[in-house]
Each structure stands twice: as structure tokens, then as C-alpha cells.
Amino acid sequence: MQHIRVRFAPSPTGFLHVGGLRTALYNFLFARKLGGKFILRIEDTDRARYVEGAVDNLIKTLHWAGLDYDEGPGVGGDFGPYIQSERTNIYKEHADHLIEMKSAYRCFCTAERLEQMRKEQQKNKLTPKYDRTCLRLSEDEVLLNLEQGRAFVIRMKVPDDSSIRFSDIIRGDVEFNSAQIDDQVLIKSDGYPTYHLANVVDDHLMKISHVIRGEEWLSSTPKHVLLYRFLGWELPQFAHLPLLLNPDRSKLSKRQGDVAVEDYRSKGYLKEALVNFVALLGWNPGDDREIFDLSGLTREFSLERVGKAGAIFNLEKLDWLNFQHLRLMPDVEVMGILKEELVKASFKVEKFTDEYLLRVIEAMRERVSFVRDFILKSPYFFEAPESYDQDVMKKRWKPTSAVCLRKLAEEFSKLSEPAKGDYENALHLAADSLGVTKGELIHPLRLAVSGVGEGPGVYDIVSILGKYETVRRINSAIERIK
């Protein structure tokens, strides 16, 4: 069997798009499943769109998601350099070779002329294509233009009325007529290659066996097939992934919400949940299973189970997956993330022992979907309440509540190293002594220690807070709530 080599080749134009994460993930899974190599290549030849720091962010995001590459920037390999701006001489050599073979030509048309040509074509309802003015230049005219230092691009010469066919693992046999294809620019006037030339040259020289990329590149593939044909190279196998769609079936875009992996990471989504979610955007295991970790995805993944239809980006599904993965995560790992969230929320982490935080996690785990929810939904575990829910006060704080809580605080103070059951027994004693129901103590107690009327069991809360902090909060509430 042919050696599997796949690549993820992003452009450093900003943060990594979730669609880019899916492309990287599918390449990674395909390589890992079949014992191949996963390569990262940076396609930075569009210098106008280059964003400083984007390469570092791309690499950090891939590592965060667990998608470690075998070859690429910072890792090396036998086929480097893996940054296209460091390979410009290679592209120029191949472009010059295409000119010698009459499969490409220099075009000296100005931007103004090309714009006027496009307008005329649109006015006449023609498909916008280069009109091949410079293809008709004589060799002497070309030499004169070069001697005069006129700027030029190098264009591919597309065969007239030719059928271009290729096979796609996901879409089957695909066919284009060359009449639909423009004479694509291969080298720009600044000397940098376009995606099309650099992509083909690098995929061949880096021995890429499978090109797995988004559907948006499907219409460009016949241009790439032609370049492989002109250069006498064997085609890789293609697999074009379905588009990512909003719930209204429009293409997923920044205008309609967050699209960067960094956006979801900063909102507290677990990497396990996001990777699981992205994997299911176009692929399924063939049954009703939906919860996968990276190793499980690696075992199950195949390109044959990737569909053609656009995949709906459903945030509710992502939230549900985040809840599921948080439930599966070991307490110690949750604690590590919780400490980070506490720092972000300006708490002094050293105030809380690991034992304390683990008990908070145990009490709240079934009530949260995000690690930050431990703070948002139960801030009382990290600081005493400064105020009390007005609706709960009106409903639960009776004229006798202060007297009842004083008695309860007295009973709690008598306890020595109390466990959860000791607090419950002490409350029963206080209720019997006062001649009131347990509810007349439980509800104001919850309000006093948490400031709200819901959450884990009140005995769980006070046993986590401890005797001294519980009594202090009771006394504070008695003073504040009139």
C-alpha cells in the first residue's frame, strides 16, 4: 500500500477558522488511522493578507487541540522548508519550465486593462476570463517588454475545449470542461506564486498522497490537475469536505457569529468537546454514537463515511457535548482548568486547597456545562455573598428567621470537626428546640450562606464551607437582612 502522507496547509491570515480545524482534524485522523504522516505547511505567499503572529497562533491552536504534526515549522522533516515564502525559487523554476513547455506564458496587462476587460465581459453577460491578449504576443514583443522592465505575471495556458476529469474519494468522478476555466495566474507580479502553483509543486515534492481539503477548493482542482498533467506528475487522491453551514443553511461566516477556534476556546469550551463536535460536521461512525475522544475518533474515522451535503453548525449540540465531556473529565483535570478560571476572575487561587476545590467540583459537576460555571453558578464557594436574592428573601426570610438562625449557629458552633451528617443532626436539634419545621431553618440557612435559593444540597454547601465560615455567614446575614 502507498505510504500515506497528508498535509494541512493554512494561510496565516488570522486565527484558525473552525473549518480549518476540521480540515486539520480529518487529515490528522486519516494519517494516524493508517500509520501515515501528518504535515503542517504554511502557505504565506499572499503577502497582502499576512498577519503578524498568525503562524504562532496556528501552531499553538493545533497543539491545544491535540493535533501534533510529524513534519513542519519547528519540527523539521526531509521535505522542508515548510513555509512557502522560503521556497520562492522552487516555484520560479517550475513556472519557467512551464513557459518553456508552452504550458504557461507571461502576461503584461495592467490592472486597469484587466478591470476594463472584466466590466465589458459582465456588460455582455460573458463568463469573466482573461482574453489571452498576451498569449498572442510574438517572442520579440515579449523580449521588448522584458527589456523595458514592464511588470508581468505568469499565466497557465488552459487547453481549449478539453475535458478534465478526476476522482474524489467523497464525491466520486468529477468532470469539468476547460472552457469554464480561466488562464490562472501562477506567479504574481511581486514574484510570489499563487496558491495554485505553490500548492501543486509542494504537494508533489513533499510526496503528499491524499489532498483532503474543503469543498471551496473543488472548482480549483481542474487547474491543479492540469498542472500535474503539464509537469508529468502523478495525481494525489483528492477528498473535498462538505461546507460548514449556519442553521439557516447559509455558509458559516464571521457575519453570523464566532468562527475562530480561539473564540470558542476563550468562551471556555473544552478542547475535547470542540474536537468531538468538529469531527461530526460531515462525518459519522455509522451508528448513533456521538461521544468520542481523539483516540476513539482515530479508531473509527474513514473518509468513506464523510458525506457530500453541507454540515450544520449547531451550537446547542456543541454545548451538549461540552457538558458530556466535562462529566467524563477526571476531577483533577477539571481542577486545573478551574484554577485558571479563578485567576481570570481575579481570585487568589492560593486561598483554596486542592481538597476544597475537589469538593466544590463534586458538588457542582452535574449542574455545570463549562468550567467557568463553577464560579458563575456558585460564586459563594469562593467569596461570601455581598447581597441576597430579593425574591428568595421575600419568600423564605420570615420574621422568626433571625432567631432561628441564631439558635442554629449556636448548635453548629458546638460541633467538633463536623462531617455533612453532623450539620444535618445539628439542624434537627435546633428545629426541635425551637418547635419549628426543618424547612424554617433550611431555607434561610441556604440564603445566608449562598445569597441565593438554589444550588447543591444545603448540607453539602455548609460542609464544604466549614463550621467557622458557615457561622460567620449566618451572623452576617442576620445583621444585614432586616
Same domain, 113 and 42: no
Same domain, 219 and 354: no
Same domain, 304 and 414: no
Residue 182 domain-assigned (yes or no): yes
Number of domains in the chain: 4
CATH number of residue 335's parent domain: 1.10.8
List, in order, residues 6 or more apart from 422 with CB less than 8 Å away. Answer: 415
Same domain, 236 and 262: no
111-149 burial code (b ≥16 CB/10 A, e <16): eeebeebeeeeeeeeeeeebbeebeebeeeebeebeeee
Measured CA to CA, the distance from residue 74 to residue 71 in angstroms comes to 8
Same domain, 359 and 450: no
Same domain, 96 and 235: yes
List, in order, residues 6 or more apart from 60 with CB less than 8 Å away. Answer: none
Model confidence pLDDT, tens digit, residues 339-390 = 999 999 999 999 999 999 999 999 999 999 999 999 999 999 999 999 999 9
Residue 126 domain-assigned (yes or no): yes
What is the sign of the dihedral through the CA atoms of 382, 385, 391 and 394?
positive
Same domain, 296 and 370: no
Last residue of a domain, one of 182, 211, 241: 241
Same domain, 224 and 289: no
Same domain, 103 and 234: yes
Task: Identify the pLDDT of residue 255.
Answer: 52
Same domain, 157 and 236: yes
Residue 14 domain-assigned (yes or no): yes
Identify whether 254 is a catalytic site residue. yes
Exactly one of 60, 102, 251, 254 is catalytic; name it: 254
Last residue of a domain, one of 362, 381, 400: 381
Same domain, 357 and 427: no
CATH number of residue 396's parent domain: 1.10.10.350
Task: Identify the pLDDT of residue 468.
Answer: 97
Residue 323 domain-assigned (yes or no): no
> In this structure, how many other beta carbons lie within 10 angstroms of the beta carbon of residue 304?
10
Residue 326 domain-assigned (yes or no): no
Same domain, 344 and 284: no
Residue 320 domain-assigned (yes or no): no
Per-residue 3-state assignment (H helix, E strand, C coil) for the chain: CCCCEEEECCCCCCCCEHHHHHHHHHHHHHHHHCCCEEEECECCCCHHHCCCCHHHHHHHHHHHCCCCCCEECCCECCCCCCEHHHCHHHHHHHHHHHHHCCCEEEECCCHHHHHHHHHHHHHCCCCCCCCCCHHHCCHHHHHHHHHCCCCCEEEECCCCCCEEEEEECCCEEEEEEHHHCCCCEEECCCCCECHHHHHHHHHHHCCCCEEEEEHHHHHHHHHHHHHHHHHCCCCCEEEEECCEECCCCCECCHHHCCCEHHHHHHCCCCHHHHHHHHHCCCECCCCCCCCCCHHHHHHHCCHHHECCCCEECCHHHHHHHHHHHHHHCCHHHHHHHHHHHHHHCCCCHHHCCHHHHHHHHHHHHHHCCCCCHHHHCCHHHCCCCCCCCHHHHHHHCCCCHHHHHHHHHHHHHCCCCCCHHHHHHHHHHHHHHHCCCCHHHHHHHHHHHHCCCCCCCHHHHHHHHCHHHHHHHHHHHHHHCC
Residues pairing with 72 in the sheet = 76
Task: Identify the pLDDT of residue 14.
Answer: 85
Residue 324 domain-assigned (yes or no): no
Cα angle value 117/118/121 (rounded, 5°): 90
Q: Report residue 77 as a C-alpha cell.
A: 522533516
CATH number of residue 113's parent domain: 3.90.800.10
Q: pLDDT 10s per residue in the chain (482 long)? A: 469 999 999 999 888 999 999 999 999 999 999 999 999 999 998 888 888 899 999 999 999 999 999 999 999 999 999 999 999 999 999 999 999 999 999 999 999 999 999 999 999 998 889 999 999 999 999 999 999 999 999 999 999 989 999 999 999 999 999 988 999 999 999 999 999 999 999 999 999 999 999 999 999 999 999 999 999 999 999 999 999 998 888 888 755 556 899 999 999 999 999 999 999 999 999 999 999 999 999 999 999 999 999 999 999 999 999 999 999 999 999 999 999 999 999 999 999 999 999 999 999 999 999 999 999 999 999 999 999 999 999 999 999 999 999 999 999 999 999 999 999 999 999 999 999 999 999 999 999 999 999 999 999 999 999 999 999 999 999 999 87
Task: Identify the pLDDT of residue 1.
Answer: 46
Domain with 295, as residue range(s), is: 5-84+244-315
Last residue of a domain, one of 222, 241, 260: 241
Whose grid coordinates read 513555509? 83
CATH number of residue 280's parent domain: 3.40.50.620
Residue 77 domain-assigned (yes or no): yes
